[in-house]
Structure 1
């Protein structure tokens, strides 16, 4: 079974984003008027969602859910203004990982098809 570059890159982005969102939680609790319960639910909830989605990227729907998490991270900027910037950075990284992953998988499939057609050895 071949590893999916798209899944690997997107999982890495979500994992790093989970750390960022987890570290945003104390900021959310101390510098805003958000209650502790709501702040924990938002900050840690998004972080846990990132970790769970990173493990579910075998399913195509998880990529759509990843876009929802990206939007939520940007919208968190209304409460913690720096998240407008950080959310946008992660959304850009997410989009790049998805598009680049699709391109790599398409080129890899074409290379395998060419090798099969020509009877060459299976690529590594």
Structure 2
């Protein structure tokens, strides 16, 4: 029988919430910074990708403050999947989706290894 060793953190739940919130917070910043280059790269067809970026930014910003709830982690995963699917609107959304998808997978891995 293997026992999991303690993480050494005084409040592991808060540390994991902080990691999830920070990951989503960085994603919000990158998505906002993505709007101007996207407008230049997509040209006349920039409307739908920019709308997708704005919607995902708002959802990610809301989730950043809701990381205490277990469902927020699943919703954060949904944001990553939607961002990847946004690649059908413009390739830059998929590129950012891959980067933050990997960061989110790492955050989920840390959460599982700390909280069990």
Q: Same fold (TM over 0.5)?
A: yes
Q: How far 1:56 sits from its partner (Å)?
A: 0.4
Given candidates 3, 9, 16, the residue that maps to 1:6 is 16
- Contact residue 38 and residue 92 of structure 2 kept, 8 A: no
Cα deviation, 1:28-61, whole Å, max 9, x if unaligned, reads 33332133xx455322221121111011011111
Structure ID, larger Rg: 1
Given candidates 53, 56, 67, the residue that maps to 2:63 is 53
Q: How far 1:105 sits from its partner (Å)?
A: 2.5
Q: Which residue pairs with 2:84 in the alignment? A: 74
Distance in 2 (alpha carbons) for counterparts of 1:24 and 1:91:
16
Q: How far 1:2 sits from its partner (Å)?
A: 2.6
CA RMSD of aligned residues (A): 2.0
Count of residues paired in the alignment: 104
Unaligned runs of 5+ in 2: 1-9
Runs of 4+ in structure 1 over 6 Å off: none
Unaligned runs of 5+ in 1: 107-124
Q: How far 1:9 sits from its partner (Å)?
A: 0.9
Q: TM-score, normalised by structure 2?
A: 0.76
Q: Which residue pairs with 1:27 in the alignment? A: 37
Seen in structure 2, the aligned counterparts of structure 1 residues 57 and 67 have a Cα distance that, compared at 3 Å, is same
Q: Which residue pairs with 1:91 in the alignment? A: 101
Q: Does 1:44 align with 2:44?
A: no
Distance in 1 (alpha carbons) for counterparts of 2:21 and 2:37:
25
Q: TM-score, normalised by structure 1?
A: 0.72
